[in-house]
Chains A and B, each alone.
Chain A
Amino acid sequence: GQNIDQPTEMTATEGAIVQINCTYQTSGFNGLFWYQQHAGEAPTFLSYNVLDGLEEKGRFSSFLSRSKGYSYLLLKELQMKDSASYLCAVINTDKLIFGTGTRLQVFP
């Protein structure tokens, strides 16, 4: 089977740093994406990891450890507009399989 797990909900304060974890057990792995999604909208691409290590992109960073089946998304200098759902997704052959998703709420 495919298991891609994330915490259901997280809260944080404006200006803070938050780390959203994703653990996966899949039959295949060709890379991992992180997306942001606001309610009723399509997911928006944030980052892509295929090799172990950290990818940094502005306020967002993503880390991957293939041996541990683990990734995290790090959001710095949180803003109110970062309140959204964050989805990790694993490429298995050519299919993109989504994790359970994390709803992040940022408070002033």
Chain B
Amino acid sequence: GAVVSQHPSWVICKSGTSVKIECRSLDFQATTMFWYRQFPKQSLMLMATSNEGSKATYEQGVEKDKFLINHASLTLSTLTVTSAHPEDSSFYICSVSNYGYTFGSGTRLTVV
């Protein structure tokens, strides 16, 4: 499988600000990456599929204007949480598919 790096590991931001999370595929050119969100004591919920060079595909119920995804290169996808609110506080994790699914280490976002 691929080696995936995700940054930052944790971030605290003020309500109303934006936060960018990076997901890098270190040894594999990923045309597709996946973004998940996980609330405490819940499972991973797929938010969107990030497509290199084109628009992301969002799952039903996920606001595309709030969760901006950019996949400008084959090794980097970014998720920007815009105008963050406390209810956006969650664990965000990315994944790359290459002979299985490899996950980044996740980002704990806390909005205060």
Contacts and interface: CB of A to CB of B under 8 A. Distances in A.
B54 interface: no
B62 interface: no
Given A42-B106, A96-B95, A87 B34 contact: no
A98 B46 contact: yes
Query: Could you say which interface size class chain A belongs to?
Result: 10 to 19
B34 A96 contact: yes
Given A87-B44, A99-B43, A101-B42, A43 B103 contact: yes
B109 interface: no
Query: Could you say which interface size class chain B belongs to?
Result: 20 to 34
Nearest to A31: B100
A45 B100 CA distance: 9
A71 to B, nearest CB: 15
Nearest to B10: A40
B44 A43 contact: yes
B69 to A, nearest CB: 15
Contacts of A42: 93, 103-106
Interface in B27-66: 32, 34, 36, 41-46, 49
A48 interface: yes
Contacts of B101: 33, 45, 89, 96
B43 A40 contact: no
Interface of B: 32, 34, 36, 41-46, 49, 91, 93, 95, 97, 100-101, 103-106, 108
12 contacts: A40-B91, A40-B106, A42-B105, A43-B44, A43-B103, A87-B43, A94-B32, A95-B49, A96-B34, A96-B46, A98-B45, A100-B42
